[in-house]
């Protein structure tokens, strides 16, 4: 299956399904959960294939919850994202798959550590621009762009967080893909790999619509952090 063993391909599909379900429910999760596993399976997944499948996911979530989107905040975050995207595309074009694998693992572990600090953030104009910059660079290099925005919105209303972050990612993913295309990083292989993952994303969106009102943050958050830590650690071990 697109150059992968059946078992590995199915593992990729399952982890993307879980990540898509979490992200469609709370606003982030796909990159943190899936990127380390995808990087182990095939470096060509990172970052293009995962960004490609993020687009239909975030557009759908943003549209469903569109009445809760804070448009002004999305604008400030996108202003910050632009230089991060440009820098990220240049880094991807210059680094080897091994180095990018390490970056994926480290970025996930940093995100886990940041989420455990308990520090309070709020979506001010300045914090949104900084978060947008960090998210743009991280997403374009590793496919893990959610944590900076999630930290900024961690004390916001869940619907506002989910919808506004999804709107930001919808535009931001297009920006990242445009920059990566200009850097020569998008080819037939990346489209094939994204096609493998797309059904899992669609199923995750459907599942999230059924379960998002029943998910307990006290259960979901620790489970996501454990999954991310294990996957990122496994990727570091494999890389070295």
Q: Residue 37: is its pLDDT beyond 80?
A: yes
User: What is the Rg, in whole angstroms, of the alpha carbon atoms belonging to the chain?
Assistant: 16
Q: Is the dihedral of CA 171, 173, 177, 183 positive or negative?
A: positive
pLDDT band for position 68 (cuts 50, 70, 90)? very high
For the chain, give the percent of residues with pLDDT over 70: 91
Q: What is the mean pLDDT of residues 18-24?
A: 92
Q: Return d(Cα 96, Cα 148) in angstroms, integer.
A: 25
**HSE toward the beta carbon, residue 95, CA cutoff 13 A:** 20
Among candidates 139, 6, 133, 125, which has minimal Cα distance to 70?
Answer: 125
205 contacts 171 by C-beta, under 8 angstroms: no
Number of residues in the chain: 240
pLDDT in tens, 105-128: 888 788 778 777 766 668 899 999
Q: What is the mean pLDDT of residues 56-83?
A: 96
Q: Residue 193: is its pLDDT beyond 70?
A: yes
Least confident of 13-22, 78-87, 209-218: 209-218
Q: What is the mean pLDDT of residues 13-26?
A: 92
- Residue 122 burial (CB < 10 Å; 0-12/13-18/19+)? exposed
pLDDT band for position 62 (cuts 50, 70, 90)? very high
pLDDT in tens, 158-186: 889 889 999 999 999 999 999 999 999 99
Query: Would the pTM of this model clear 0.85, i.e. be above it?
Result: yes
Least confident of 122-131, 164-173, 200-209, 217-226: 217-226
- Residue 149 burial (CB < 10 Å; 0-12/13-18/19+)? buried
Q: Return d(Cα 178, Cα 26) in angstroms, integer.
A: 27
- Residue 238: per-residue pLDDT: 66
- Residue 120: per-residue pLDDT: 61
């Amino acid at each position: 299956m697109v150059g992968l063993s059946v078992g590995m391909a199915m593992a990729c599909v399952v982890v993307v399904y879980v990540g898509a379900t979490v992200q469609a429910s709370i606003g982030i999760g796909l990159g943190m959960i899936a990127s380390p596993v995808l990087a182990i399976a095939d470096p060509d997944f990172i970052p293009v294939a995962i960004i490609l499948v993020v687009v239909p996911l975030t557009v759908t979530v943003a549209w469903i919850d569109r009445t809760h989107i804070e448009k002004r905040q999305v604008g400030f975050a996108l202003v910050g994202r632009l230089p991060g995207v440009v820098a990220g595309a240049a880094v991807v074009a210059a680094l080897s798959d091994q180095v990018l694998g390490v970056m994926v693992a480290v970025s996930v572990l940093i995100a886990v550590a940041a989420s455990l600090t308990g520090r309070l953030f709020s979506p001010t104009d300045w914090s949104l621009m900084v978060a947008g910059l960090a998210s743009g660079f991280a997403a374009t290099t590793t496919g893990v762009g959610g944590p900076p925005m999630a930290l900024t919105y961690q004390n916001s209303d869940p619907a506002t967080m989910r919808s506004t972050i999804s709107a930001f990612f919808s535009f931001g993913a297009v920006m990242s893909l445009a920059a990566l295309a200009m850097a020569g990083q998008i080819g037939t292989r990346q489209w094939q790999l994204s096609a493998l993952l797309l059904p899992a994303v669609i199923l995750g969106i459907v599942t999230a619509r059924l379960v998002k009102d029943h998910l307990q943050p006290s259960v979901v958050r620790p489970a996501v952090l454990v999954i991310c830590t294990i996957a990122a650690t496994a990727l570091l071990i494999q890389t070295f």
